[in-house]
Amino acid sequence: MSDELLAKAEAAIPAEVRMISGCKDSQTSADVSNVASFQLPDPAGRAGGALTSSLLSVLYADHKAPDDDLSFQDVLLKVREILAAKNFEQIPQLSASRPVDIHMPFEIVPSDFTGERRALMIGINYVGQQGELSGCQNDVLNMKEYIMDMHGFKEENITVLLDDGSHTSPTNQTLVEQSQPGDCCYCHYAGHGGKLRDQDGDEADGYDETLVPLDYESAGQIRDDTLYTKLVGALKKGVTCTSVMDCCHSGSVLDLPFVFQADGESDEMAAADDFDFDPLTKLAHSLMSGNSLGEAAVHAAAEGCCQIQ
């Protein structure tokens, strides 16, 4: 990686952010429910817990750690093997704000961690709605047990959002959270993902990737631009954040510049093709300066999130 590329990445995204996604942007993820009737712009396919279930099979089978130390590459390739055995074509991938040595041991909490462990975990089954899913709530509860048992996260530092009537409801207003310098945070999303036409010309394929909150009909889908302004770009330098996005079209939903695809051909993380740092850098400067332009950028992103085309 060139020094110039790394400098752009640090300017655009101060924190160390990593995301494991269940599929490429062009692919749908899998669960037992079909979303053809979900009334979304791109309803083809299914969304839900295939990635989460496969990850747990690799990392937490029989509620214990694997016998062998697994690298990031090992974990994602094993996940791909499980998905392929179930006839799912989706390709899991790891993307990051900094290049990750995929041959290093898999970790959620860095070895040099010094702060608090914090987690935000979201599972949406869309209970009572068209396109209802079945596994997302269970996925979150199972992953919660995993990060507490294997990575030392404490109950009081874990926020769980579920549409089960018992937990806080996962609406647009409660979908993102920030952490403090020195902290290690984990973010898990299991639910529907989508695509909307890009409004500001920063997407090479012409579409923004989205998350679909419980109240999407009234509040709109949450665009990747909004996730940047409220989560990725807002995390401070010194924070390490690992995210699992188990939804359709999730490959670049956090707009991270470095990617490893578990396609059996890639053997290292590389810069994402045609990644444009300029829009993120402008937003980052605005967010850090706290001026009116920054406020306008966040407002514009929120406004865009609520317009389904």
Q: How many CB atoms lie within 10 A of CB 268?
A: 12
For residue 3, what is the enclosing H or E element? helix 3-12
Residue 248 falls in the annotated catalytic set:
yes
User: Rounded to an integer, what distance in angstroms lies between the CA atom of residue 207 and that of residue 209?
Assistant: 6
Contact 95, 256 (CB under 8 A): yes
User: Rounded to an integer, what distance in angstroms lies between the CA atom of residue 243 and that of residue 253?
Assistant: 11
Task: Calculate ∠ Cα 27-284-211, nearest 5°.
Answer: 30
User: Rounded to an integer, what distance in angstroms lies between the CA atom of residue 195 and that of residue 40?
Assistant: 9
Query: Catalytic pick from 188, 248, 249, 305?
Result: 248
Query: Catalytic pick from 192, 247, 249, 305?
Result: 192
Pairing of strands 184-190, 193-197: unpaired
Cβ partners under 8 Å of residue 106, min gap 6: 59, 70, 71, 72, 74, 75
Residue 185 falls in the annotated catalytic set:
no
- CA diameter of the chain: 53
**Residues assigned a catalytic role:** 192, 248
